[in-house]
């Protein structure tokens, strides 16, 4: 199984776009997305220095635009991608690129949202002096306990041996003087405490904008930063994209879901390297491909052919599927078992895992066409559970 991932803020480096913009088609598409965002992204990706592109208002649109246009270079016929991609995920702002790649939102919608996201997060960061510090190594329980003891938030949990603490600069200074044993602390060059309560004002702004955004259900499995669940409801994806601004990124749980899916290959979109590096440590035996420059495209396509498998979501279905959000055991809700039709939001059951029980609902409602699992069946993330004929459809 092939998973495509998109990196988050911090992956950018000065001049990383230069080789990509030598291709006239890439340059033209990139110019279009730059126009939508209202930012000269080509300049920032080729001429600007590290400090300039660290600015949240620039870095976030730059990363999303690069991922989206590079995806068209990798899959010149976008429909072909879904015959290979088993799942998509994005780290932090990369989740916007993943959502657009899965066809939940359009590229243009993604660029407007990321522009406003970057501006709102920069404004929130300016209100209070905050920052982030990576904690490398150490005992996980002790690391999390020390973070909590200093009033900090584990804003990024990236897997074994890598947690990012975030909060005020005063809290981070105290943490540096009293950190967890056997751990190395590395202050990050970021503008503020992203994915914490300090970003709450940005959430409010994006929520207002999101009310006017039309969405579609993902064309492939989309693994959510919030909890590693597979989300197959477009509106829920949008809600999570907005709420994630002020909530921790649980990349460790995304990696667990990839393992549950049986991933064999992970390809990271440019500017690549960060997420494949994490995957190499966390998912032993899984092949990775960091797409950094356009001269790698042929090898990247071969990698996709090697690991790819068709998505089980049809291109233009006359029905909707309800899928499992996680690995576990499915239990059918008594009230849903014998119904011929379900209203939107009806509970169809839950998935019980070693960690928790996750309620599963029929987001759109409709006539029950077919139950695809039985009570007590083991299920995988994104596995179809129920097929519905939409209400009002012919």
97-117 confidence digits (pLDDT tens) = 999 999 999 999 999 999 999
Of the candidates 92, 224, 311, 324, the residue annotated as catalytic is: 92
Active site residue 92: yes
Catalytic residue among 91, 150, 195, 198: 195
Helix (H) or strand (E) segment spanning residue 337: helix 334-337
Task: Tell me how far apart the alpha carbons of residues 94 and 101 are, in angstroms, rounded to a whole number.
Answer: 11
pLDDT exceeds 80 at position 310? no
Identify the bridge partners of residue 167 per DSSP, sorted by sequence position. Answer: 131
163-217 pLDDT, tens digit per residue, is 999 999 999 999 999 999 999 999 987 889 999 999 999 999 999 999 999 999 9
Q: Rounded to 5 degrees, what are φ and ψ at 288?
A: -130, 155
307 in active site: no
Identical fold between 127-187 and 320-389: no
* CATH of segment(s) 2-124+197-307: 3.40.366.10
> By mean pLDDT, which of 11-20, 308-317, 355-364 is the weakest?
308-317
- Would you say 386 and 371 are in contact if contact means Cβ atoms under 8 Å apart? yes
Look at residue 392 and tell me whether its pLDDT is greater than 70: no
Mean pLDDT of the region 14-21: 98
pLDDT tens digits for 262-308? 999 999 999 999 999 999 999 999 999 999 999 999 999 999 999 99
Which CATH number does 320-389 carry? 2.40.50.100
Question: pTM for this structure?
Answer: 0.91
Residue 314 has pLDDT above 70, yes or no: no
Write the Ramachandran bin of 238: left for phi over 0, alpha for psi from -120 to 50, otherwise beta: alpha
pLDDT at 141: 93
Is residue 143 within 8 A of residue 163, CB to CB? The reply is yes
- Domain boundaries, given as residue ranges, for the chain: 2-124+197-307, 127-187, 320-389
**DSSP of 47-82, one letter per residue?**
T--HHHHHSHHHHHHHHHHHHHHHHHHH-SSHHHHT
Pick the CATH number of 127-187 from 3.40.50.1440, 3.40.50.10800, 3.30.230.70, 3.30.70.250: 3.30.70.250
| pLDDT value of residue 79 | 76
């Amino acid at each position: 199984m092939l998973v495509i991932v998109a990196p988050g803020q911090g992956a950018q480096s000065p001049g990383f776009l230069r080789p990509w913009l030598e291709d006239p088609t890439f340059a033209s598409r990139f110019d279009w997305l730059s126009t939508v965002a209202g930012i000269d992204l080509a300049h920032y990706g080729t001429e600007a220095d590290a400090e300039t592109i660290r600015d949240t208002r620039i870095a976030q649109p730059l990363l999303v635009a690069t991922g989206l246009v590079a995806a068209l270079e990798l899959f010149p016929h976008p429909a072909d991608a879904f015959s290979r991609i088993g799942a998509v995920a994005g780290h932090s702002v990369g989740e916007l690129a993943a959502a657009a790649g899965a066809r939940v939102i359009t590229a243009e919608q993604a660029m407007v949202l990321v522009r406003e996201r970057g501006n709102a997060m920069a404004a929130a960061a300016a209100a209070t002096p905050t920052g982030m510090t990576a904690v490398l190594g150490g005992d996980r329980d002790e690391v999390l306990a020390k973070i909590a003891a200093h009033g900090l938030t584990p804003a990024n949990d990236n897997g074994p041996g890598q947690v990012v603490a975030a909060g005020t600069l005063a809290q981070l200074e105290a943490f540096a003087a009293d950190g967890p044993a056997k751990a190395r602390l590395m202050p990050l060059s970021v503008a503020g405490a992203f994915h914490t309560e300090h970003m709450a004002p940005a959430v409010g702004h994006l929520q207002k904008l999101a009310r006017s955004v039309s969405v579609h259900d993902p064309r492939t499995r989309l693994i959510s930063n919030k909890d590693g669940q597979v989300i197959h409801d477009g509106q829920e994806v949008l809600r999570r994209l907005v709420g994630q601004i002020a909530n921790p990124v649980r990349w460790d749980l995304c990696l667990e879901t990839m393992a549950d899916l049986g991933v064999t290959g992970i390809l990271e979109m440019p500017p690549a390297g960060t997420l494949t590096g994490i995957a190499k440590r966390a998912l032993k035996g899984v092949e990775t491909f960091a797409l950094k420059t356009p001269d790698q495209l042929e090898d990247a396509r071969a990698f996709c052919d090697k690991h790819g498998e068709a998505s089980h979501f049809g291109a233009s279905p006359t029905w909707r599927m309800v899928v499992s959000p996680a690995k576990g055991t499915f239990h059918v809700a008594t009230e849903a078992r014998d119904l011929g039709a379900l209203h939107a939001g009806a509970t169809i059951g839950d998935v019980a895992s070693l960690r928790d029980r996750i309620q599963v609902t029929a987001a759109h409602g409709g006539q029950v066409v077919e139950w695809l699992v039985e009570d007590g069946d083991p299920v995988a993330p994104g596995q179809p559970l129920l097929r519905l004929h939409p209400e009002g459809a012919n």
